[in-house]
Amino acid sequence: MFIENPTEPATVKLELENIQIRDQLLQCEYMYIAGNLCFISKFQTIREPVQCMNCYRFNHVTLVCKSEQYCISCGDTKDCTSTVFKCVSCGQNHRADNKDCIKYQELIEKLKQQQHNE
């Protein structure tokens, strides 16, 4: 869960000892921390697949990428002259960062599954 201060939007994450305390706090809706009014809401972890901004493949970050640079639009390694979209991950007719990409969707499903098992 996290706490929002309405005057200066900033969040504080609270790790609580047990679910009962958390639920009690969530019912309060707001509380004062060090004299500041803070609104309480449940913390949602939104996990997204990691995508490299160099080669646009998934599951690694740009910093560790050892691949050649690929084009986000046409998936080619050369200077882009193409106007046709081709995803480097699935080969379909969309940009590599398209959230409808079947590969991206697969990874989202996997992450959801992992979260479910935790």
52 binds Zn ion (CB under 5 A): yes
Nearer to Zn ion by Cβ, of 19 and 64: the residue is: 64
Q: What CA–CA distance (Å, rounded) separates 44 from 47?
A: 9
Does residue 50 belong to the site contacting Zn ion (CB under 5 A)? no
Q: Which residues pair with 71 in a beta bridge?
A: none
Q: How far is the CB of 111 from Zn ion (least distance, A)?
A: 17
Cα 26 to chain centroid distance, Å, stands at 24
Of residues 44 and 81, the one with the C-beta less far from Zn ion? 81
d(CA 48, CA 110): 10
Q: For Zn ion, which is the closer residue by CB, 3 or 74?
A: 74
Q: Scanning residues 67 to 106, which ones bind Zn ion (CB under 5 A)?
A: 67, 71, 73-74, 80, 82, 87, 89-90, 92, 101
Q: For residue 85, count CB atoms less than 10 angstroms from its CB and return exposed for 0-12, middle for 13-18, buried for 19 or more.
A: middle
Beta carbon of residue 109, minimum distance to Zn ion (angstroms, whole number): 15
Signed CA dihedral, 86, 92, 97, 98: sign only: positive
By the criterion CB under 5 A, which residues form the site for Zn ion? 52, 54-55, 65, 67, 71, 73-74, 80, 82, 87, 89-90, 92, 101
